[in-house]
Structure 1
Amino acid sequence: MAATIYLHWSATPYTWVRSGAYHTIVAGDGHLHRLHSYTIDLNAHTWRRNSNAVAISCACMGGVPDPWTIPPTDAQIEAMCREAAAVARSWGWSADDITIQRVMTHAEAASNRDGRILHDNYGPVAWGGSGERWDFMQLRKGGPDDGGAVLRQKIRAYLRGEAPASGSTGSSSGSMAPAPLAFRRRSTMTARSRQLAVEIDIHGTSWALAADLLSLYDIPYEWNPLQRRLLIGSNDVAPFYRDDAVQESIGHPLFEMALQGGSAPVILRGILRPDAAAAAARDAAGDATSGAAFSRAWCRVLEFAEEFGISVTYQPFALGERRGG
């Protein structure tokens, strides 16, 4: 089956987060919870359409008895469309590729609006279905049934680098890239009785090279530069799905750290920063290789410790051993 992006709502409150069903869940404030690698097939998001597919869902429409008491927010809609555009871009798609055959709402898939699979119509009653799934048929209560078309228009605009036009969900935030998080100084800290090189950002948060942290705790890993992913060989880590996970708004390219095998749950997200020494050596040698090839993966030290069960002490900030290992 051709690669497809499916857009869902979860029929839950805005804060709902649960792994297994969707690759990414968008909270009510637009915060992204990327729960599984986009290279992994999940089994239960879109009936008969789970292979070679990505599922992005907004946590909303969980009002009882009226789902519209928890409607999709403007922030969710824009964040979902930005993320869908990022996935499409990673697959080499252009704005012209964003068609109903490649990006669909669950309402459209349930009603087989693309004509791909002739299954029973479990989509909106208004489209001749049983009404089981009607995700994003409308973007607001009582609105037109053009939700999928509006979402695809927004995704195309993000792919073109444009600010999506205001639509039925209100005004958008534009597409100007955020200023990268600034780092103010280099330092060291103690980790397992050794010295760990860190960088301190303008908020006082400590960052370290992910490779240094993983090597320090003897955790095997494999770096995939094309997918910007660190695959971790560990069977004793349970992801937290943090509310404060690193977001695109930090202004640096992101990478994800995921567990190997299964549904590849994402442990944490970090940033890619240029390696100044490697770039200088490249320039001195007259190497024309892109600077992106010399970026290195950084993650927040405290977040890494919490995800991997590492003991932490403060004043001074230091890392100890992994709990139980």
Structure 2
Amino acid sequence: MAATIYLHWTATGYDWIRPGHYHRIIGGDGRVHRLHALTADLLAHTWRRNSNSVALACACMGGQPDPWTQPPTAPQLHSLCLEVAAIARSWGWNADDITIQSVMTHAEAASNRDGRWMHDNYGPVIWGGTGERWDLLQLEPHGPSDGGAQLRQRIAALLSADEPESFKNDPLAFRGITSIEVRGQELSVQIDADGRSWGLMADLLQRYDLSAHWDADQRRVLIAAADVAPTYRDDAVQAAVGWPLVEMALQGGQSPVILTGILRPSLEGDRAWCRVLEFAEEFGISVSFDPLVLGERRGG
């Protein structure tokens, strides 16, 4: 059975980013924080619907006493729809697959609006519920109570487009190849148009003796490392780079995402790349600059 995508708000401020609750959280500025691999079952997002599901949330609606003093922002909603469309596309879905059975707001799920009676109705009062959860019932103050339908329409429109929106602009350009020192040996890297160094994930992992497995179906790299604590950095690679994204996640448990990279073609086939400095920061590797040098991992 295909997974169901559930859409939430966090009832917090715009900068609330915490792992363990949702697979993705979109900040108020529209930045997508990819916290857990999509295959991980998170147990605290949608009551009795946590298995075989994906949870995305907008960090908003935390105003006190009026939650609408921090409503979903236009960039948040746009990024939410783009992220759902990207996930759906990676699963082989098309616009016709975006239905209330496959993509639901928490308001709709709480009220069993998909026709599956999973629990008592704890959704919006206007749907006969107790009013405990009404996430994305409305997308703006005093707006119509069809937020789920509006979002599905926007997601379907993105899937109907001939080209994903994130790829309409030219992808981030790479301007040259150089080498840096990594653990006392040279490693070939590429420099992007912003002057950042990118390395092949496989080369960096091998240099630090980190065991990894490429999951082609989910387009991710799985790492077997018990001493890595993801930082969920704010500057993680975003879809705006214009390249297909690749996740690096820890194996097992809730499969927390360590960092996000990109997939680029080569003569050897598609290869996964990541920012060298971001890799070092996530894996606790000592760094010096001018020139850039990566040393040893802290504690190992």
The aligned residue for residue 290 of structure 1 is none
Provide the C-alpha distance between the structure 1 equivalents of 2:14 and 2:276, rounded to a whole number of angstroms. Answer: 29
The aligned residue for residue 271 of structure 1 is 262
Q: CA RMSD in A?
A: 1.5
The offset of 1:162, in angstroms, is 7.0
> What is the letter of the counterpart of residue 81 of structure 2?
C
Provide the C-alpha distance between the structure 1 equivalents of 2:132 and 2:162, rounded to a whole number of angstroms. Answer: 35
Contact kept in structure 2, 1:162 and 1:175, CA below 8 Å: no
The aligned residue for residue 304 of structure 1 is 279
| Structure 2 unmatched runs, 5+ | none
Contact kept in structure 1, 2:250 and 2:258, CA below 8 Å: yes
The offset of 1:178, in angstroms, is 2.6
Closer, same or farther in 2 for the Cα pair 1:176/1:271, shift >3 Å?
A: closer
| Structure 1 unmatched runs, 5+ | 164-173, 279-293
The aligned residue for residue 28 of structure 2 is 28
Provide the C-alpha distance between the structure 1 equivalents of 2:216 and 2:169, rounded to a whole number of angstroms. Answer: 23
Q: Deviations over 1:221-270 (max 9, x none)?
A: 00112211000010111111111110110011110000000010000000
Q: Deviations over 1:283-311 (max 9, x none)?
A: xxxxxxxxxxx110111010000000000
The offset of 1:74, in angstroms, is 0.7
> What is the letter of the counterpart of residue 261 of structure 2?
G
What is the TM-score when the length of structure 2 is the normalising length? 0.97
Provide the C-alpha distance between the structure 2 equivalents of 1:139 and 1:146, rounded to a whole number of angstroms. Answer: 8
Q: Deviations over 1:206-225 (max 9, x none)?
A: 11101000000000000112
Closer, same or farther in 2 for the Cα pair 1:182/1:72, shift >3 Å?
A: same
The aligned residue for residue 295 of structure 2 is 320
Q: Which of 183, 187, 194 is equivalent to 1:192?
A: 183
Aligned pair count reads: 300
Contact kept in structure 1, 2:95 and 2:157, CA below 8 Å: yes
Contact kept in structure 1, 2:31 and 2:238, CA below 8 Å: yes
Identity across the alignment (%): 66
Provide the C-alpha distance between the structure 2 equivalents of 1:175 and 1:182, rounded to a whole number of angstroms. Answer: 15
SS at match of 2:158: helix
SS at match of 1:257: strand
Closer, same or farther in 2 for the Cα pair 1:183/1:162, shift >3 Å?
A: closer
SS at match of 2:168: coil
What is the TM-score when the length of structure 1 is the normalising length? 0.90
The aligned residue for residue 291 of structure 1 is none
Provide the C-alpha distance between the structure 2 equivalents of 1:200 and 1:237, rounded to a whole number of angstroms. Answer: 26
> What is the letter of the counterpart of residue 216 of structure 1?
R
Q: Deviations over 1:164-213 (max 9, x none)?
A: xxxxxxxxxx6762311111110001110000101011111011101000
> What is the letter of the counterpart of residue 203 of structure 2?
D
Closer, same or farther in 2 for the Cα pair 1:140/1:268, shift >3 Å?
A: same
